[in-house]
Chain A
């Protein structure tokens, strides 16, 4: 598979969550992933984009950039917002930890990303924004 990439930006509207995950999944389709792999990628993207909307921008509308790179069988997805940032990344990544229980947040977002992707890197700075880098190697199958 030749190296390939796509970059797109969306306003932080919840209606864009389904588009963002479907777009990344469609872009990865060239790698001939299994249905399970596609579901895992879609779910991880959905979690990262939802975090940007709810936590990054809270009730305001900002921009979210989504980048998907393919290098061989490796998929790298970067979801970036320019919002409030995470004060304590380590705590935010703890399963069941949420700053917004009143919004019925389960606190499972990062746990889901970590379960479904091979690697999740979170870079964040208060009032600057958050960048979530996720990597996953897609199994090689005969077409």
Chain B
């Protein structure tokens, strides 16, 4: 999976490209958490426009980043989820704690 970071004020946008599965989540987690821990962000936007694949490991990954930013009193938002990606996200009920646009 490819990651792209965009910073705007205290908002960090993470663009995910490719497949988000157990393998890529483990790899990306390290890079993303380093970035979050080094910065002073109060909002994380996860942009899924270029995501080709997601499974339940991706849900665990999103919840993990939610917990991390919550510790810093920040919020997380998911944008550009396709209908298929949306289906998996809805299955887990994470829409109740994270805004999905």
Assess the A43–B91 pair: CB atoms within 8 A.
no
Using a CB–CB cutoff of 8 Å, the interface residues on chain B facing chain A are 19, 21-23, 25-26, 29, 53-57, 59-61, 63-64, 84, 88, 91-92
Contact yes or no, A36 B92, CB < 8 A: no
Stretch in contact with the other chain, from A61-69, A74-82, A104-112, A121-129? A104-112
Instruction: Indicate if the CB atoms of A108 and B91 lie closer than 8 Å.
Output: yes
| Min CB–CB distance B94 → chain A (angstroms) | 8
A46 at the B interface (CB under 8 A): yes
Q: Which residues of B contact A112 (CB under 8 A)?
A: 55-56, 88, 91
- CB-based contact A17/B56 at 8 Å: no
Chain B residue, CB-CB nearest to A113: B56
Give chain A's interface residues, CB within 8 Å of chain B.
Answer: 14-15, 17-18, 21, 36, 39, 42-43, 46-47, 50, 53-54, 96, 103-109, 111-112, 115
The residue that A46 contacts in the complex, of B29, B55, B91, with Cβ under 8 A, is: B55
Q: Is the CB of B91 within 8 A of A17?
A: no
- Can you identify 14 A-B contacts, CB atoms within 8 angstroms? A18-B19, A18-B53, A43-B54, A43-B88, A50-B21, A103-B60, A104-B29, A105-B57, A105-B60, A106-B92, A107-B56, A108-B59, A111-B91, A112-B56
The minimal Cβ–Cβ distance linking B28 to chain A, given in whole angstroms, is 12
Assess the A104–B55 pair: CB atoms within 8 A: no
B64 contacts A108, CB within 8 Å? no
Centre residue among B26, B55, B84 by max chain A CB count within 10 A: B55
Is the CB–CB distance between B55 and A15 below 8 Å? no
Pick the residue among B57, B84, B91 that contacts A50 (CB under 8 A). B57
Known: A104-B64, A105-B60, A108-B59. A46 touches B84 (CB 8 A): no
Question: Complex formed: what's the CA distance from A107 to B61 in Å?
Answer: 12
Q: Is the CB of B61 within 8 A of A17?
A: no
- 7 nearest interchain CB pairs? A14-B23, A108-B56, A106-B60, A104-B60, A106-B59, A104-B64, A46-B55
